[in-house]
Structure 1
Amino acid sequence: MRKVLFLFIVLLAAQVARAQVKIQRLLTENLPNPTSIDAAAPRFSWQLTPGTGRNVMQTAYEIKVTDDAKRIVWAPGKANSDQSTFITYKGTPLTSGKKYTWQVKVWDNKGKASDWATATFQMGLLTESDWKAQWIGPGTEEAGRPSPMFRKGFATGKKIKSATAYITAHGIYEAHINGQRVGTDYLTPGYTSYNKRIQYQAYDVTNLLKSGANAVGASLGSGWYRGIYGIGTRKEIYGKDIALLMQINITYADGSTEVIGTDNTWKTSTGEVRYAEIYMGSTIDARMEQKGWATAGFDDAKWTAVSVQNYPKNVLIATANETVKKKEGFKALKILATPKGEKVIDFGQNLVGWVKFKVSGKAGDKIVISHAEVMDKAGNFYTDNLRDAKCINTFILKGGAQETFEPKFTWQGFRFIRIEGYPGDIKLEDFEAIAIYSDMPVTGTFATSNPMINQLQHNIEWGQRGNFIDIPTDCPQRDERLGWTGDAQVFSRTATYNMNVHTFFDKWMKDLALDQYKDGSVPHVIPDAFDNGKPSGGGGSAGWSDAATIIPWNMYLAYGDKDILAAQYPSMKAWVECMKGRSRNNLWNTGSHFGDWLFFTRNDDNDGTAAITSKYLIAQCFYAYSTQILVNTAKVLGNTQDVATYTKLLAEVKQAFNNEYVTANGLISSDTQTAYTLALQFDMLPENLRPQAAKRLADNVRRYGNHLTTGFLGTPYLANALSRFGYADVAFKLLLQDSYPSWLYPIKMGATTIWERWNGIHPDGTLEVPSMNSYNHYAYGAIGDWMYRTVAGIDTKADQVGYKGITIKPTIGGNFTKVDANYETPYGKVTSSWKVEGGNFVLDVVIPPNTTATVYVPTKGAGAVTEGGKPVTKSGEQVEGYTAVNVGSGNYHFSTSM
């Protein structure tokens, strides 16, 4: 009897434990346990763990924040609220460099309370006076600009409680303490508008220090700051110098503190990194390595004094976004013998990063590794499309034992490498390609029954990974790699599905606002590497400058963060006012614009359907769209005066569009896919003209044999416009088209990333002109937004953004028999998984705790819908071919006959 009673108690306890609400994914300012926060009032977020049944909602929470002495600095008590994102700290002012612990406990609508969950955050250096270190540089620089190294030996005589290293540079750095690399970040401090703000990183280095003798060191590369960068061989955009600023704040067990910072007691020299440039690659001469240079026992008698510089510190900011890290590794797949007799390795994936390899040889042996994305038609190594970028890494052996090499302070975009000077036989197992990108959490997966579409999703993801290197670049391989605003804005919503880009874009948008010109126009690239604060007529292109409004709004939709709208609102408003100022009678038909960049047109077209869209027509559409976003933002922020002002302007802008570009019968003067797409997507037309415009769009697609003809600005919205107005079947035909131009054509030609041009490789295997032909762009990958939002049907409700309110509304088509999509929202994972089998449609849905959703099940006629085997048709509402069912959190299994 006692055994039975004991077993009953154990089972009951287990059931109670399962039923108890739990908390996960605690974030401070969107980051887990950050080490440098410079927000005076940081914000806290968390998720409720799924698995506690259906319809789970948070009804209350309680937060406590304590300092490192366990003193409470904020404890507002229990709050009756379902808010679990962006809870703003309102306690005692937080102190520079101090570490804090925060706890949260929640209650749910089933009477359950969670245990306390715990996370930490550390404040950054909040004032200029917190920086005790001085900027230092090399006393003199050697010819060829080898990477300078800096070091200092020091002693600690007491037990260390904690130590934090704060580091930044003019250039990019790698730091070491006692011979160990500090952190796992690369290309730090990252790319910002350096003349206005420079990031620093903070690292917990407690375990790297020891009692007694220590040494700290850092090496620098020119990077974005002063290196060759921009288009061509421009250099020294932000300055000619290279400099280091570093300090280690040590707290001893007895409570005393000490700062070890860069100053005139440091020494400098050079070592094995003889050359390093982003575009050109690096040269490593292992014979010149100074082994142990960052250890305490190193003899630095031959090193020289550093120069102390008075560079500003009031531009320093804590790193708010995820840093660049090493990610996936790719094995070498095959060795190719080219017609020219070159030795080439294929890694099978176009990626961004570098190659690490092992080699044995004699002292002085020189190995040259070149990088390419594709092979030409004849099978030879192809680098013409790199333009002025060399993308060559050179390695000189020390000799003796086997050596391992990888480049420094550079990166390449490539699938293939050419190897010259390698001693002995090349072995595949000795080579590895390492991908790098900003360490954003992966949030989405999308897969279908069609392998080509799955490869398209793969290519979209790898286009994003390779181009999200601290900023959203246009390409990762040639002499560009710039933060083109147009590319970023068209892809920004798709980017939110693939990865959590909240902090990534928040950081970049702040640089956009800082670099915005006085008249409100926005530079073509951010940071402004072209003019660097000295506008010479650049910027202000429709669809490019609109990044100022579109990206903040997309981030708000995806993450529900009002602060990004509030921070960017002056910039958003300035851009709309700029367009207004450049317009005449609310018609914007002035200035230089890129238009529908890289659109398709047929040279032999004689039937009046050329795909050239008026740049001014496009400009007017984006003028209206940005104005609409400004109105929406003003409503969110409670700015009623601006709502009225810009609502009136919006009506006038649309009327000017119709007066100028639309006939009485609804024909748009540029009779193109892009013209109709933008007019429909941005609601430019009166409602009575929209159905015929949608038909004209669908007919245009059919005239081109179900091919698209759109460029950078039309493509992102094409499938959305077709679906919205009843032509989803046409959108699916476009998606599945595999002849040029189409999304699947590059895949047929072997693409593993998204191309810049629809015809990067021609059907006969020849390559498009090299002047502008990247094989790793992401703009055309914007179709991913439609795949997630329409095909899988995952979206946020307009009145409950950030997926607090969720819509699941899948679209059947394309002969897909199965679609699986998962998306990690701020509240947890959403799943929409549907399949068609045996005349039935089955939809499996997962809704995270603390949210609600409306699930739209495709219904033909009066077909009954069941959930978990029970009918739901009576409780569901019939909406345009769907049965709409309101649900709470949990797992659901819907089914209906087709």
Structure 2
Amino acid sequence: MKANILKSIAIVALVAFVPLTGCEKQGNVVKDYAGMRTSALDNSAWDQSIWISAVNASVVTDTIKGNVCRAADGASFFASTIKNEKKVTSVKWMTAGLGVYELYINGKEVGNEFLKPGFTHYAKTKRSFTYDVTDAIDNKADNENLFAVQVTPGWWADKIVTPGDHVGMIGKKCAFRGVLEYTFADGSKKLYGTNVEDWKAGIAGPVLHAAIFDGEVYDARIKPGYETPEKLSKPEQNNEFNGEILPSDGAEIYLRQDLALAPVKAYVWKDVEGVTDDAFGKVVISKEFTHGEEIVVKQGETLVVDFGQNAAAVPSFEFNAKEGTVLTCLPAELLNDGNGAKSRGMDGPEGSCHRTNLRTPDQGMQLIYTFGNNEGFVSFYPRCTFFGYRFVSVTATDEVRIKSIQSVPVTSIAKDLEIGTITTGNDLINQLISNTIWGERSNYLSVTTDCPQRNERLGWTADTQVFTETGTFFANTDKFFHKWMRDMRDSQSEKGGFPGVAPTAQYGGDMMRVGWADAGIIVPWTVWKQFGDNQIVDENWEAMNKYMTYVNDTKYDHKAHIEENGNYQWADWLSYEPLESCGGLAFEVDKSGKRGPKADAVDYWNYLSASYWAIDAGMMRDMATATGRDAAVYQKMEDDAKAYLKATFLNENGEFKVPILNTMQTPALFALKNNLVEGQAKENMIAHLRDNFKEHGNCLQTGFLGTSILMQTLTDNGMADISYELLFQRKNPSWLYSVDNGATTIWERWNSYMIDKGMGPSGMNSFNHYAYGCVCQWIWETAAGIAADPAVPGFKHIIMRPVPDKRLGYIKAEYNSAAGLIKSEWKYDGDKWTWSFTVPEGATASVTLPGETEVKEYKSGSYTVEK
């Protein structure tokens, strides 16, 4: 390979004549992509390459804490030219990066994936992307092609993977590694890998700063790195990463232009009225813009844009201003209200963007753009980060004209992965379903992030497991979870514990936290059941078996795992019940002033742990049976767990031995789910649970764990009436309370925002969490009556037991399952209920009509019944 960076400008001039293999509109940009994804080269090809870094790349050396949390400045650029030794018939480029990277050939971007390579364990696994770039090169003998790469710190050298008090970032320098496979006209092949002789590297290009939390700083006056050879020099070998490079095969990230959001409202303000000591006042709107009208923002003014939908996204502009004008765009999830009353948790005047809940609003989540010398409008969107927002606030140092602004969603749920639609005759429930779908799109982003907006965005494992089944109805998440379970295995402890966060990141690495660690079993079981995928079982069997052995040997006892769990459990996180951990109810301070868990809390945690021990063991039995493994050991494990639960925690009359548990909903729900009580004891528990809901005004009190099993457990135990009361409940806490309060995604807290009181706790308050969207699993499986049978996974045998309610009006569900298209549609005409359903070719269904116990078997076909 011959490096000749000085020829890069001449090569870029040829770009207009290079045929492209992909073209799509990204926001306000008509984006041409070179190359098509293809299979990776043989793994041995990596031997022809090394990781390389820019010698002059900045390295963060300060201790990471508080406001010292920003990544190093600058983007690393890498470039090399290859002279064709002969006529070329094929070129493939296998690539990997330490940091978020973009590829270019002759100045054209390669591939339409966004934020490559995605989020993985920083030390153990990196994902590669391979492209056939034949149509993007000049293939004539003796001609040259320029290959270039930009790498920024995301998911490698930034805060998201770096614990507090760490000296510097986990990743020090961004790096690139790649191999080109040339095939010549005579049939011969040659590999060209990254090295320090034929490649150049340096800090270059218009991206002055970028990271996942920080946002992006972009100066359009500066040329791309492949056009500034004087900024590039000999690179150095990077030896920071010694893990495995695996081909990306699931959880890639894309911009969803088909979902691009236009403003529903846009206005500028400059002055504020009504300011008091206790309130920031209210903005004075000087102009509100109509749809399609050119927006003008003058110095001293603030533009507020409402896109009408909270989402993980990037703002995309078509705008114009004088050279050197600096535009600052700040995303937010909600607007300040109530005259900016400080008592409501507001951080600015009513009508301005609220950003306190982002936790680092002054250091992060910022887009800063400096205009270059352009006479007309230019298009731009950030390429090295993403935000979570519904609103943006825009200011500028001089007048800016905005021809168009859009919010373009960023997600791993590509359009062709969306496989399920469900609607009802109730607008509030439809909004709840929409909120759930947007929560999944926003948070299935390389990993199952808890939220896309604040300085967190981590793969929390309980959030993941409680929502996994729900998500499979709206999208084909099979490959997504193959990738994520690799992240789980990478993060598993030597003893076998699974973490609170996967992949390992800035925090959340605590093992054996009940309901979190269990995702290591629940997720593979769910994916296997929903998609009929034995491979995910095989890939994870060793790790799952190691975990279950650990659980079984210790009875999942909290104190047995203190070394790994830190003597803390998240448990039924954010519930409204006593012994809730986040609010401190599970803890006390002893006479010596030491804070620790209450004895009742430890008993509660051990009860929940043993409940999951039983659930996990049953799932292992199912997966063992399906894959030809010994299921008897797991059947015994489940039996032992249930015997332990009964003997340790329950009296014969169906009451809990620890009195406070009898005042709560979640303990009873887990007892009923695990069939721990029968006969009169079961009747007593059901009656007691009914009384509990009545005492709370037909409101749930459950948190992350209890809510995940709430609706189906009630229905399975003769309390479908309560399930529907909870579904339609509008008081706090309830699902529709958030809808009534303006939610367009699922909230982290039942009371994240209250019209009458304002913001919930600002230190941990997200308006785009997805966990509580698990209610849609019940809507799919029970209201619509479409459920998989674990005995015959992948919907080859469907359990159809619809439970209708007139308040829904009607329901219409279509699901492109692994077995084919399943339909379920019912409606009421007076008291007459009509149900139409479709069983796909080759599948069967066990059907139970509402109010009946008789089960009828149906073969493939479409049917209509009345009742």
> In structure 2, what is the equivalent of residue 343 of structure 1?
303
2:694 paired with 1:702: yes
What code does the residue aligned with 1:512 have?
Answer: M
Report what 1:138 is aligned to.
Answer: 54
Q: Structure 2: how far apart are the matches of 1:629 and 1:797? A: 13
Deviations 1:275-334 (A, max 9, x none): 0011111100111223xx54xxx5624532222335667611111104100002111221
Runs (5+) with no aligned partner, structure 1: 1-119, 604-608, 860-878
- Aligned CA distance change for structure 1 residues 182 and 585 (closer, same or farther; 3 Å): closer
Q: Distance in 2 between matches of 1:237 and 1:673?
A: 43
2:461 is the alignment partner of 1:485: yes
Partner of 2:199: 266
Q: Residues of 1 paired with 2:810 and 2:494: CA distance? A: 52
What amino acid is aligned across from residue 177 of structure 2 in structure 1?
A: L
* Cross-structure match for 1:628: 618
Which residue of the partner structure matches residue 326 of structure 1? Answer: 255
Mapping 1:597-616, distance limit 5 Å: 597-601=573-577, 614-616=604-606
Comparing 467-476 with 264-273, greater Cα deviation is found at: 264-273
Trace 1:853-864 onto structure 2 (pairs within 5 A).
853-858=845-850
Q: Which amino acid aligns with 2:327?
A: I
SS in 2 for 1:758: coil
Change (3 A) 1:549 1:288: same
Cα shift at 1:157? 5.5
Q: Which residue of 2 aligns with 1:316?
A: 245
Amino acid at match of 1:203: Y
Q: Is the 8 A contact 1:595 1:713 kept in 2?
A: yes
Relative to the length of structure 1, the TM-score reads 0.78
**1:494 alignment partner, one of 470, 474, 479:** 470
Correspondence list, 1:525-536, <5 A? 525-530=501-506
Q: By how many angstroms is 1:483 displaced?
A: 0.5
- Alignment match, 2:865: 895
> Structure 2 CA distance, aligned partners of 1:325 and 1:692?
52
Q: Which residue among 294, 298, 307 is the counterpart of 2:236?
A: 307
What are the within-5 Å matches in structure 2 for residues 62-81 of structure 1? none
| Superposed counterparts of 1:428-439, under 5 Å | 429-439=403-413
Of 518, 525, 547 in structure 2, the residue corresponding to residue 553 of structure 1 is 525
CA deviation string 1:598-656 (max 9, x = no partner)? 001499xxxxx99999223222211221122223323333333xx33333333232222
Distance 1:234 1:462 in 2: 35
Other-structure match for 2:9: none
Residues 585 and 448 of structure 1: is their aligned pair in 2 closer, same or farther, counting only changes over 3 Å? closer
1:831 is aligned to 2:823: yes
SS at match of 1:479: coil
Deviations 1:678-701 (A, max 9, x none): 111122334653333233222211
Which stretch shifts more, 190-199 or 329-338? 329-338
Alignment partner of 1:596 out of 572, 575, 582: 572
- 1:517-548 deviations in whole A, cap 9, x for unaligned? 1111112100111479xx7xx22100000001
Q: Secondary structure at the match of 2:249?
A: coil
Give 1:785 deviation, angstroms.
Answer: 0.7
Residue matched to 1:196: 124
- What number of residue pairs does the alignment pair up? 739
Counterpart check, 1:373 vs 2:373 = no
Q: 1:578 to 1:814 in 2, by over 3 A?
A: farther
* TM-aligned CA deviation for residue 376 of structure 1: 2.4
Amino acid at match of 1:175: L
Match of 2:216 among 272, 282, 285: 282
Give the deviation of 1:426 after TM superposition.
5.6
Task: State the Cα RMSD in Å.
Answer: 2.7
Query: Where does the alignment leave 5 or more consecutive residues of structure 2 unmatched?
Result: 1-35, 60-71, 270-281, 285-301, 339-349, 580-584, 587-599
CA distance in 2, matches of 1:483, 1:787: 25
State the alpha-carbon separation in 2 of the partners of residues 242 and 528 from structure 1: 19
Moved more, 212-221 or 616-625: 616-625
For 1:417-449, what per-residue CA distance to the aligned partner results, in whole angstroms no more than 9, with x for missing partners? 11111643665x521111010144001111100
| Aligned with 1:644 (options 632, 641, 651) | 632
Counterpart of 1:408? 383
Q: State the match for 1:54 in structure 2.
A: none
Who is 2:90 aligned against?
162
Partner in structure 2 of residue 578 of structure 1:
550
Moved more, 263-272 or 743-752: 263-272
Is residue 769 from structure 1 mapped to residue 761 from structure 2 by the alignment? yes
Kept in 2, the 8 Å contact 1:594–1:615? The answer is: no
* TM-score of the superposed pair, with normalisation by structure 2: 0.81
Change (3 A) 1:411 1:732: same
Structure-2 separation of matches of 1:763 and 1:122: 51
- C-alpha separation in 1, matches of 2:228 and 2:715: 70
One-letter amino acid of the counterpart of residue 182, structure 2: I
Distance change in 2, residues 1:751/1:240 (3 Å): same
Q: How far does residue 577 in structure 1 lie from its aligned partner after superposition?
A: 2.4
The CA deviation string for residues 349-395 of structure 1, in whole angstroms up to 9 with x for no partner, is: 00112101122222211111111101123323211111125201100
Q: Which residue pairs with 2:512 in the alignment?
A: 540
CA distance in 2, matches of 1:282, 1:736: 42
**Is 1:621–1:684's contact at 8 Å kept on the other side of the alignment?**
no
Separation in 1 of the partners of 2:138 and 2:577? 67
Q: Which whole-Å CA distance do the structure 2 matches of 1:121 and 1:761 have between them?
A: 43
Secondary structure of 1:784's match? helix
Between stretches 519-528 and 303-312, larger displacement belongs to 303-312
CA distance in 2, matches of 1:210, 1:189: 27
Distance 1:187 1:584, change over 3 A: closer
Task: Indicate the SS of the match to 2:611.
Answer: helix
Whichever residue aligns with residue 728 of structure 2, its letter is L
Q: Is the contact between residue 608 and residue 667 of structure 2 (CA under 8 Å) also seen in structure 1?
A: yes
**Matched ranges for 1:710-721 at <5 A:** 710-721=702-713
Say if 2:115 and 2:383, in contact at 8 Å, map to a contact too.
Answer: no
Map 1:172-321 → 2, pairs under 5 A:
172-211=100-139, 212-230=143-161, 238-264=170-196, 265-269=198-202, 270-290=204-224, 294=226, 300-310=229-239, 315-321=244-250
Does structure 2 conserve the Cα–Cα contact (< 8 Å) formed by 1:169 and 1:245?
Answer: yes
Query: What's the secondary structure of 1:287's corresponding residue?
Result: coil
* Cα deviation digits, residues 227-282 of structure 1 (max 9, x gap): 12158867766421210012221222321223333222112230110000111111
SS of the counterpart of 2:260?
strand
2:833 corresponds to: 841
1:769 shift after superposition: 1.2
Aligned-residue identity in percent = 29
Report the counterpart of residue 444 of structure 1 in structure 2. Answer: 420
2-side partners of 1:522 and 1:687: how far apart?
A: 37
- Which of 500, 520, 542 matches 2:496? 520
SS at match of 1:330: coil
Q: Is the 8 A contact 1:322 1:504 kept in 2?
A: yes
Question: Once the two structures are superposed, what CA deviation does each residue of 1:29-48 show, in whole Å capped at 9, x if it has no partner?
Answer: xxxxxxxxxxxxxxxxxxxx
8 Å CA contact 1:475–1:481 kept in 2: the answer is yes
* Residue 486 of structure 2: aligned partner: 510
- Counterpart Cα distance in 2 of 1:129 and 1:778: 41
Are the structure 2 counterparts of residues 286 and 852 from structure 1 closer, same or farther at C-alpha, using a change threshold of 3 Å? same
Q: Give the residue type in structure 2 aligned to 1:222.
A: P
1:569 aligned partner: 541
Q: Which residue of 1 aligns with 2:320?
A: 360
Q: State the SS of the aligned residue for 1:317.
A: strand
- Counterpart residue type for residue 222 of structure 2: M
